[in-house]
Amino acid sequence: LAMSHVPNVEVIDLDSIDVTNLNRQFLFRQKDVGQSKARVAARFINERCPWMNVIPHHGKIQDKDSSFYGSFQCIISGLDNIEARRWLNATVCSLVELDEDGDPDPSTIIPIVDGGTEGFSGQARVILPRITSCFECSLDIFPPQKTFPLCTVAETPRIPEHCIAYAFTLQWPREFPDRKLDTDSPDDMQWVYQKALARSKEYNIPGVTYMLTMGVVKNIIPAVASTNAIVSATCVNEAMKLLTFCSQTLNTYMMYMGSTSIHSYTYVYEKKEDCPVCSSTIRKMTISPNMTLNQLLQELREGDLRLKAPSVTAAGSGTTLYMQKPPVLEKITRPNLDKRMQALIDDGEELTVTDPMFPGTSVGLSIYFEN
């Protein structure tokens, strides 16, 4: 972006620099270990490229409100987890205003260029909120994060990952009950690594390394510098097209595969008709009349919506069936959790579902009971 003379850039990142970050980029040095990635990167670019005005923000993307994201012409997303990418996608999509005919107002559309890498593979895509498919439309291609059964981790570890999971999920809370594990702290991660290594020796399980410990705790996929360079260049190229209208943008998805050769292809990722973020479709759901509200909420968390902490209101009557926050309202609506849905709503009634995963928007759900 700097060499393309895009002068005003803001970067937000929660991470601090770890020694393992030094081998695949040119922004950080040994003396920067432990410091904010965003601040160090901004300082480096501003000093090297005096025409640039890079403003750093050290923190979560969720710490900024919608007005912050609404102030940009284009957003490049290089986030390393699905939850954050879903949140950003929903936030930017919620900024789009619709006219009387339900068509999006072009002046309120803020393009997202999303990129990611995994080893020798990578992808980049252009999202025009409410026009092209959004990130939520393609959620099915991202499997839920892998977890390990607690009983296996505690009693019968078989692989290095079990030893690491034991160290940070069971041993850390036992040793430091009043302090949360800081995954960006080299000291904390070294402690987890040593404990995991000791447990692996106890059970004769080879393969526990510091890099693997980092990968399991932070759900990190090992990065390859060449893949990162190709995907980041693609993202910048698409951002330049969007900012200058110099050429047709990517339509809409590019896959790069570098494990066997240098190969890439593009294709159009179609919009999902009932996408909870970029469509206004009321989703239909058929359930047993004996299903409780608690079971419905569990289905919303584990089903294709993959919600985090859903709250539900009956759209017709405006009755709040269950609300996660504030605590007072949660306590008042908690008795509804054990009630059957048939006692709470009528057949075909529409529910309004809100969730932290979808800021600024809600999901419409029509509930039908099985005969």
- Min mean pLDDT across 165-174, 220-229, 279-288, 293-302 is at 220-229
pLDDT band at 304 (very low <50, low <70, confident <90, very high): confident
Average pLDDT over residues 30-38: 91
pLDDT band at 132 (very low <50, low <70, confident <90, very high): very high
Is the per-residue pLDDT at 286 higher than 80?
yes
Average pLDDT over residues 236-259: 93
Average pLDDT over residues 16-43: 88
**Per-residue pLDDT tens for 162-203?**
999 999 999 999 999 999 998 878 899 999 999 999 999 999
Told to judge if 151 belongs to the known catalytic residues of this protein, a careful annotator would answer: yes
Do the Cβ atoms of 136 and 274 come closer than 8 Å? Answer: no
Residue 113 region, left (φ>0) first, then alpha (ψ -120 to 50), else beta? beta
- Please tell me whether residue 353 adopts helix, strand or coil conformation: strand
Question: Which residue in the list 151, 235, 246, 275 is annotated as catalytic?
Answer: 151
pTM above 0.95, yes or no: no
pLDDT value of residue 211: 85
